[in-house]
Copies of this chain bind each other. A is one copy, B any other.
């Protein structure tokens, strides 16, 4: 079973590869079969499928097979999981900066409440 940390882990891991990011970009424009997905790349099909497997494990991509063709779709909710993580960090730091600014602008009659 995968806890939250591990999920974000495999998620960023999945996005860390340029091939996989291109595959995500392709899929954000609409579903595609495995061979469609493979077309832009020079690498072998098994290599592409291995990348796809990693995207699936991360939850970013869902696939289902009909006849002999496997169709791949993106899962937006997982995409936004990463987005949220980044956003939280950024906001925290921005709040920190704001408090610092306020502190510097203020006359010395008030304490900063850090912690």
- Which residues of A does B touch, CB under 8 Å? 5-6, 8-9, 12-13, 15-18, 21, 24-25, 27-30, 74, 76, 79-80, 82-83, 85-87, 89-90, 92-94, 96, 114
Main secondary structure of the interface of A (DSSP, over half): helix
Q: Which residues of B contact A5 (CB under 8 A)?
A: 18, 21
Please report the C-alpha to C-alpha distance between residue A13 and residue B24 in the assembled complex, in whole angstroms: 16
28 examples of A-B residue contacts, CB within 8 angstroms? A6-B18, A8-B21, A9-B16, A9-B21, A12-B16, A15-B16, A16-B16, A21-B85, A28-B90, A28-B92, A28-B96, A29-B92, A29-B93, A29-B96, A30-B96, A74-B93, A76-B94, A79-B89, A79-B90, A79-B93, A80-B90, A82-B82, A82-B86, A83-B83, A83-B86, A83-B87, A83-B90, A86-B86
Smallest CB-CB A-B distances: 9 pairs? A12-B16, A13-B16, A28-B89, A28-B92, A12-B15, A83-B86, A28-B93, A79-B90, A16-B16
- Identity of the chain B residue whose Cβ is nearest the Cβ of A93 in the assembled complex: B28
Chain B residues, Cβ within 8 Å of A25: 89
